[in-house]
A and B are shown apart, each in its own frame.
Chain A
Amino acid sequence: MSALPRRIVKETKNLVKDPVPGIKTNIPDDDNLRYLTVEMEGPAGSPFAGGVFSLELYLPEEYPMEPPKIRFLTPLYHPNIDKLGRICLDVLKDHWSPAFQIRTVLLSIQQLLGTPNPDDPLLSDVAELCKNDNAKYCEVAREWTKKYAIPEPKE
Chain B
Amino acid sequence: MGNTASNFDESGHQRSPSFSNSSSSASTRKQSASISINSSNIHPESRSVRSQTLGQSPDSFSNNSASIAGRQRRSSSLVGSLLTGGSRRASLFKANPGNANDSKGKSSSVEKNLAKQNHFMNLVVKFDEIVDGGFLAPYGVHDDERKLDYNDKIVRQLIVDRRLQPFYIPLEDYDDYDYSDYELLKVLKSQLLHQPYPENPEKFEDVPGVKGLSMSQLSDNNNIETFVDQTLTKNEKKIQRKLIFSARLYKRKCVWQEQENERYSEAKRGLGSNIVMIPSDELYLSLYRNGEECPICFLYYPKNLNISRCCQQPICTECFVQIKRKEPHFKNNNGEITTDVENIRSEDIPDSSDALISECACCPYCATPNFGITYAPPPKQIRTGLGAELRPCEYRNKLKDNMVDKNSEQDTKLITSRPRTHSLPATHDSVVTSDSIRPDWEVNLLKTKMRLKKRFAKATTIHINNRLVSSEEEKKIEKLEEEMLEQAIKLSLQDNQAKVSQ
Shortest Cβ distance from A130 into chain B, in angstroms?
A: 16
| Residues of chain A contacted by B425 (CB below 8 angstroms) | none
A120 near B364 (CB under 8 angstroms)?
no
In the assembled complex, the Cα of A1 lies from the Cα of B147 at a distance in Å of: 19
B364 near A98 (CB under 8 angstroms)?
yes
Known: A98-B319, A99-B365. A2 touches B195 (CB 8 A): yes
| Residues of chain A contacted by B28 (CB below 8 angstroms) | none
In the assembled complex, the Cα of A3 lies from the Cα of B139 at a distance in Å of: 14
Partner among A2, A61, A90, A99 whose Cβ is within 8 Å of the Cβ of B296:
A99
| Residues of chain A contacted by B295 (CB below 8 angstroms) | 99
A65 near B144 (CB under 8 angstroms)?
yes
Known: A7-B298, A98-B296. A2 touches B335 (CB 8 A): no
A7 near B143 (CB under 8 angstroms)?
no
Which residues of A85-101 are within 8 A (CB) of B? Answer: 90, 93-95, 97-99
Known: A62-B144, A65-B147. A6 touches B196 (CB 8 A): no
B141 in the interface (beta carbon within 8 A): yes
Partner among A2, A6, A93, A120 whose Cβ is within 8 Å of the Cβ of B299:
A6
B142 near A65 (CB under 8 angstroms)?
yes
| Residues of chain A contacted by B313 (CB below 8 angstroms) | 99
A5 in the interface (beta carbon within 8 A): yes
Shortest Cβ distance from A42 into chain B, in angstroms?
A: 27
In the assembled complex, the Cα of A4 lies from the Cα of B94 at a distance in Å of: 57
Shortest Cβ distance from B124 into chain A, in angstroms?
A: 17
B108 in the interface (beta carbon within 8 A): no
Shortest Cβ distance from A56 into chain B, in angstroms?
A: 22
A97 near B144 (CB under 8 angstroms)?
no
Q: Mark B316-338, 1 if CB is under 8 A from A, else 0.
A: 00010011001000000011110
In the assembled complex, the Cα of A99 lies from the Cα of B361 at a distance in Å of: 14
Shortest Cβ distance from B307 into chain A, in angstroms?
A: 14
B323 near A98 (CB under 8 angstroms)?
yes
B142 near A62 (CB under 8 angstroms)?
yes
A94 near B365 (CB under 8 angstroms)?
no
What is the interface of chain A mostly: helix, strand, loop, or mixed? loop
A17 in the interface (beta carbon within 8 A): no
Shortest Cβ distance from B366 into chain A, in angstroms?
A: 9
| Residues of chain A contacted by B154 (CB below 8 angstroms) | none
In the assembled complex, the Cα of A116 lies from the Cα of B78 at a distance in Å of: 55
| Residues of chain B contacted by A3 (CB below 8 angstroms) | 195
Which residues of A73-95 are within 8 A (CB) of B? Answer: 90, 93-95
B362: nearest chain-A partner, CB-CB: A97
A10 near B337 (CB under 8 angstroms)?
no
Shortest Cβ distance from A118 into chain B, in angstroms?
A: 12
B183 in the interface (beta carbon within 8 A): no
B335 near A64 (CB under 8 angstroms)?
no
Q: Report, as a range, how many residues of chain A touch the other chain.
A: 20 to 34
In the assembled complex, the Cα of A120 lies from the Cα of B362 at a distance in Å of: 23
Shortest Cβ distance from B380 into chain A, in angstroms?
A: 33
A62: nearest chain-B partner, CB-CB: B144
B414 in the interface (beta carbon within 8 A): no
In the assembled complex, the Cα of A31 lies from the Cα of B102 at a distance in Å of: 49
B198 near A1 (CB under 8 angstroms)?
yes
B187 in the interface (beta carbon within 8 A): no
| Residues of chain B contacted by A6 (CB below 8 angstroms) | 170, 172-173, 297-299
B144 near A2 (CB under 8 angstroms)?
no
Partner among A2, A11, A90, A93 whose Cβ is within 8 Å of the Cβ of B143:
A2
Shortest Cβ distance from A48 into chain B, in angstroms?
A: 25
| Residues of chain A contacted by B197 (CB below 8 angstroms) | 2
Q: Mark B285-309, 1 if CB is under 8 A from A, else 0.
A: 0000000000111110000000000
B297 near A5 (CB under 8 angstroms)?
yes
B367 in the interface (beta carbon within 8 A): yes
Shortest Cβ distance from B236 into chain A, in angstroms?
A: 26
Partner among A7, A11, A99 whose Cβ is within 8 Å of the Cβ of B364:
A99
Q: Mark A95-109, 1 if CB is under 8 A from B, else 0.
A: 101110000000000
Q: Mark B172-187, 1 if CB is under 8 A from A, else 0.
A: 1100000000000000
Shortest Cβ distance from B57 into chain A, in angstroms?
A: 48
In the assembled complex, the Cα of A1 lies from the Cα of B296 at a distance in Å of: 22
In the assembled complex, the Cα of A61 lies from the Cα of B365 at a distance in Å of: 22
Shortest Cβ distance from B363 into chain A, in angstroms?
A: 8
Partner among A7, A62, A90, A120 whose Cβ is within 8 Å of the Cβ of B297:
A7
In the assembled complex, the Cα of A99 lies from the Cα of B173 at a distance in Å of: 20
A11: nearest chain-B partner, CB-CB: B298
In the assembled complex, the Cα of A10 lies from the Cα of B367 at a distance in Å of: 25
| Residues of chain B contacted by A65 (CB below 8 angstroms) | 142, 144, 147, 322-323
A97 near B334 (CB under 8 angstroms)?
no
A2 near B196 (CB under 8 angstroms)?
yes
Shortest Cβ distance from B446 into chain A, in angstroms?
A: 23
In the assembled complex, the Cα of A65 lies from the Cα of B364 at a distance in Å of: 10
Shortest Cβ distance from B150 into chain A, in angstroms?
A: 13
Known: A10-B298, A98-B296, A99-B364. A5 touches B334 (CB 8 A): no
Q: What are 26 A-B contacts with C-beta separation under 8 Å?
A: A2-B143, A2-B196, A2-B198, A5-B141, A6-B170, A6-B297, A6-B299, A7-B296, A10-B298, A61-B144, A65-B142, A65-B147, A65-B322, A94-B326, A94-B335, A94-B337, A95-B367, A97-B362, A97-B364, A97-B367, A98-B296, A98-B323, A99-B295, A99-B313, A99-B364, A120-B335
Q: A6-B173, A90-B335, A98-B319 are in contact. List 18 more A-B contacts (CB 8 A).
A: A1-B198, A2-B143, A2-B197, A5-B141, A6-B297, A6-B299, A10-B298, A62-B142, A62-B144, A64-B296, A64-B297, A65-B144, A94-B337, A97-B362, A97-B365, A98-B296, A98-B364, A99-B295
Closest 9 CB pairs of A and B: A99-B364, A7-B298, A97-B364, A98-B296, A99-B365, A94-B337, A98-B364, A2-B198, A6-B172
